[in-house]
Amino acid sequence: MCNRHRNLLICNDMPPTNQEKPHPSGDNRFKLLDRAITRHQSRGDALIEVLHVAQGIFGFLDNDLLIYVARSLKLPLSRVYGVATFYHFFTLKPQGNHTFVLCTGTACYVKGASGIQKAVEHHCGVRFGQTTADNQISLVSARCVGSCGRAPVAVLDDAVAGKLTPESAVEKIGEWQQVPGEAAA
């Protein structure tokens, strides 16, 4: 077991595999998803578990992610889409125009994720799991986004931001709110 990821459910007992080639997007989170898929031996009957892990890592299940899971598990996309839409605990897209995914995994928690959570919730006026009233920003938490060395980490839309502080996290959200035409929260 990787010491850095000790106690992280999605990292436990998941040795590196040949599947761990970088995703073309360069997004490290796919490595974590690949490990979970490998742990389930790419079995189609692990679909719900794999979707759970995917949502935990990415915050929600967009079309590209569903396609990736379908290909990895060698399942028809219609089946993956059917399961993802049937269960209410799966979210297919964030409600807000922007998504702030805060990692609350062990490394990030130890490095101060809870302080960031409080500051961001206070700034946006909503809790994690919710979207601001103007539909601009969704706050989502994830277990580990695969960048523990840069903890505490958040994924702002599709960009990973590391070594965050409560102030820098709020500042980054403020940049979204300053874009002309986007209403402040």
Of 126, 164, 166, give the one whose Cα is nearest residue 145. 164
Of 67, 50, 58, 55, give the one whose Cα is nearest residue 14. 50
Interaction mask 98-127, ligand FES, x per CB under 6 A: -----x-xxxx-------------------
| Exposed / middle / buried, residue 13 (Cβ in 10 Å: 0-12, 13-18, 19+) | exposed
Spatial contact of 33 and 8, defined as CB atoms under 8 Å apart: no
User: ∠ CA(48), CA(24), CA(105), 5° rounding?
Assistant: 50
Residue from 72, 99, 138, 147 touching ligand FES (CB under 6 A): that is: 147
CB nearer to ligand FES: give 50 or 145.
Answer: 145
Residue from 80, 124, 144, 156 touching ligand FES (CB under 6 A): that is: 144
CB nearer to ligand FES: give 108 or 137.
Answer: 108
**Which residues have a Cβ under 8 Å from the Cβ of 156 and sit 6 or more positions away?**
98, 99, 100, 101, 172, 173, 176
Interaction mask 54-93, ligand FES, x per CB under 6 A: ----------------------------------------
Question: At closest approach, how far in Å is the CB of 151 from ligand FES?
Answer: 5
- Contacts with ligand FES, residue ranges (CB under 6 A): 103, 105-108, 144-148, 151, 153
